[in-house]
Amino acid sequence: MIDSILDQMTLEEQVSLLSGADFWTTVPVERLGVPKIKVTDGPNGARGAGSLVAGVKATCFPVGIALGATWNPELVSQMGKALARQAKSKGAAVLLAPTVNIHRSGLNGRNFECYSEDPMLTAELAVAYIGGVQGEGIAATIKHFAGNESEIERQTMSSDIDERSLREIYLPPFEQAVRRAGVMAVMSSYNRLNGTYTSEHHWLLTKVLREEWGFQGIVMSDWFGSHSTEETINAGLDLEMPGPARDRGEKLVAAVHEGKVEAATVRAAARRMLLLLERVGAFESKPDLTERAVDLPEDRALIRRLGAEGAVLLRNDGILPLAKTSLDRIAVIGPNAASARLMGGGSAQIAAHYTVSPLEGIRAALANANSISHAAGCRHNRLIDVFKGKITVEYFKGRGCKGNPLHVETVDKGEFFWFELPSGELDPADFSARMTMQFVPEESGDHVFGMTNAGLARLFVDSALTVDGHEGWTRGENYFGTANDEQRGTVALEAGRAYAVTVEYEPSTASGEGINLIAVRFGVEKPLGEADIEAAVETARNADLALLFVGRDGEWDTEGLDLPDMRLPGRQEELIERVAAANANTVVVLQTGGPVEMPWLGKVRAVLQIWYPGQELGNAVADVLFGDVEPGGRLPQTFPKALTDNSAITGDPAVYPGKDGHVRYAEGVFVGYRHHDTHAVEPLFPFGFGLGYTRFSWAEPRLSTGEMGSEGITVSVDLTNIGDRAGSELVQLYVRSPETKVERPDKELRAFAKLSLQPGETGTAVLKILPRDLAYFDVETGAFRAEPGNYQLVVAANAADIRFVIDLSSPLTHVLPPSH
């Protein structure tokens, strides 16, 4: 059927398939019955075509690093199935996920969106995720291919990575997604790879992806991430997104006529687009693009389970789990206590069906909820708290908010990110909007108004210009680098008095390179100070237990910018120190998208890392704290003692964050635990670390054979739960190699198994490795090479907790080409 359609297509019609129609849909060819399909973000929820911050509600699942912490491919596959159902509820046939870039440093703004610092763990979870999604008839899109391990100058930066490091660290998750999961789509990254944009990288997209790995699906650009016509199509980029066409369309037709692009190249790309439509069933029944909010009880239960399964207990002197009946007075403190920090920022954001804050979850878990006291103590927000309340929005043709509004609507949040305007008569390049609202402060005193805008905006309080986002506007770090840095103004306000707040917005008249968006965000808050920290300390002093919820949020852990350091922002470290000094029973619950330094670690009784676990946040954390379930998570990323212990943080800006448009991956394959183990850099918490509420005994491992052959080796380890609670244990299998002509890490993860056992129950972890698991990538021969010699199999609970070391002989040289 596909070839028949192609034979009937004109060149122009074939070309039309190779660009989006708009932000989220492909171009149909109605005369030949070729429908359009919709794509949707993202990794932790199917948003649909709505705004990043509004639109139809969607189910919010845990973020990538929280899934990485589960070490549970089966559970991740279940989430993939649920996400496919959510994608269908938004009328989408393609899910733009998963994100599998490697945790090179602790500072990447999208660290939260990715699974791990280890390619093997990342690959296993990605394969499971993709299998779950595609098993339900929705195409998955693995991203970002490749070398997007930082958000700094990401649209132009060249990630300079040697081929061995690419083959061993950064490409395996993509390779396994193609070979084992049959992923239907790959998204190229924004950055350049060794000087060439990945969207134009023939070696990456054609030689490696298609010829070596046998990829049969489509390659699409990241949004606004393609920059040319013949270079992209000749390199192997099929779909330019978003639409309408910028570098395709008439330009591509002309390139064919001029001989710069072969007609057969266009036909092959169009064929792959049609094959995608066929694989997602678009020809069988016309896609219904209607968007619906579907909130299923089974999804709620799965999210709650995933939240606990990914929660990592980092420290516990015996205080956890908490006994519900013996706690009379609990202080719930911190900037993340009463606020539900569900997800990171950027394109992964969705409008969740509901939120459950830790404070709400704890109150729901305890019958004697009146014994719970709360104090924020301090703030950690990067941006002023967004305005919440009734906002009337008037849309006008042209600039300056003149004449009668063309459309009027009411919203409840002061953040607007327009993919589509509410009326087709409005021109995204030539409209204006006026937002009016009332603000009634609860307390008297100075209040700070803040605004950031991609476009031009002014904020007035009682007609007085308070924040100017118009004069002197320049690009900053917000909204993927398309908006200015937040501008602020301070006004003294009286409690109980209503103030008229007005924001006037219009798009910028300047055209910039790369992404151009229309967005505005504004808010107001009364700053917290010393009195608020003192109030939190006093609250803790008068309680039997202090639960301290600290960390970051989606303003810090976000697409578009990297973190400034690895410390808790604001006065949170001081808050922890002072609360712990006031109450000896202090438990810290962390929400971050990666590692943080912990100078206060020895002063608290327990530390629980819960990441951003989705809409059941408060319930999941209460489940773990009170022992209804155990903390099942293990770290998917090493937590260094200090930022400078990370292999990417050398003090040389050319290595990180980049210099003169290049960032050099000078550490090579020594990423994460590979660096710490090989160079004896002691971490704060090692890769794979996590405590539980029970104990396990490990029996001696059994090998299927002591000599590596072509069929591989199986290692079996019996575990017994010798505690009095159900729990899980992680078994990791590393390979330690003999000396070779290249330097290799001390050990490398090659297999893992996670067992959940009842008290007294025994189970068997079965781990298999193949000849390639002994290999390194030999650049000279262009193949994976395992030298003959004596290897060691390291059986461990985590990278620093080695239980057994087994000698293994490999008498033959194994040479495995990438196409193997």
Q: Which of 41, 118, 160, 222 is catalytic?
A: 222
User: Rounded to the nearest 10 degrees, what angle do helices 617-625 and 358-365 cross at?
Assistant: 50
Distance CA 128, CA 750 (A): 17
Full strand arrangement of the beta sheet holding 415-417:
415-417, 519-525, 445-454, 487-493
Q: Which residue's structure tokens are 């212990």?
A: 645
Q: At what angle are helices 263-279 and 250-257 packed, to 10 degrees?
A: 140
* Cβ pair 228, 196 in contact under 8 A: no
The closest alpha carbon to 380, from 548, 632, 131, belongs to 548
Radius of gyration of the chain (CA): 27
| Residue 295 known to be catalytic | no
Cα–Cα distance between 307 and 311 in angstroms, integer?
A: 6
Q: Which of 180, 118, 74, 130 shows the shortest CA–CA distance to 754?
A: 74
Q: State how far the alpha carbon of 674 is from the alpha carbons of 46, 568, 643, 647, 735, in Å.
A: 35, 26, 16, 9, 12
How far apart CA 777 and CA 172 sit, in angstroms, is: 12
Give which of 438, 414, 449 is closest to 496, Cα–Cα: 438
- CA–centroid distance for 750 within its chain: 24
* Residue 194 CB burial class (10 angstroms; 0-12, 13-18, ≥19): middle
Residue 685 burial (CB count, 10 A): 25
> How far apart (Å, rounded) are the C-alpha atoms in residues 315 and 440?
43
Instruction: Tell me how far apart the alpha carbons of residues 656 and 671 are, in angstroms, rounded to a whole number.
Output: 13
Contact residues for 511 (Cβ-Cβ < 8 A; gap 6+): none
Q: Residue 40 has which token pair?
A: 């949707």
The residue assigned the tokens 């194994």 is 814
Among 1, 2, 51, residue whose Cα is nearest residue 23: 51
Per DSSP, which regions of 558-628 are E strands? 586-591, 606-609
Return d(Cα 809, Cα 166) in angstroms, integer.
Answer: 28
Distance CA 774, CA 660 (A): 38
Distance CA 810, CA 27 (A): 54
**Which residues does 680 contact at the CB level (< 8 Å), separation at least 6?**
none
Using CA atoms, how far apart are residues 289 and 172, in angstroms rounded to an integer? Answer: 34
- Find, among 356, 416, 343, 418, the residue nearest to 386 by Cα: 416
Q: Distance between CA 452 and CA 476 in Å, rounded?
A: 9
Rounded to the nearest 5 degrees, what angle is found at the Cα of 734, between the Cα atoms of 731 and 739? 165
Burial of 524 (0-12, 13-18, 19+ CB in 10 A): buried
Amino acid at 798: N
Q: HEC profile for 484-516?
A: CCCEEEEEEECCCCCEEEEEEEECCCCCCCCCC
Q: Is 394 left (phi over 0), alpha (psi -120 to 50) or beta?
A: beta
HSE (side-chain half, CA atoms, 13 Å) at 409: 11
Give the residue numbers annotated as catalytic, written as ranges.
222
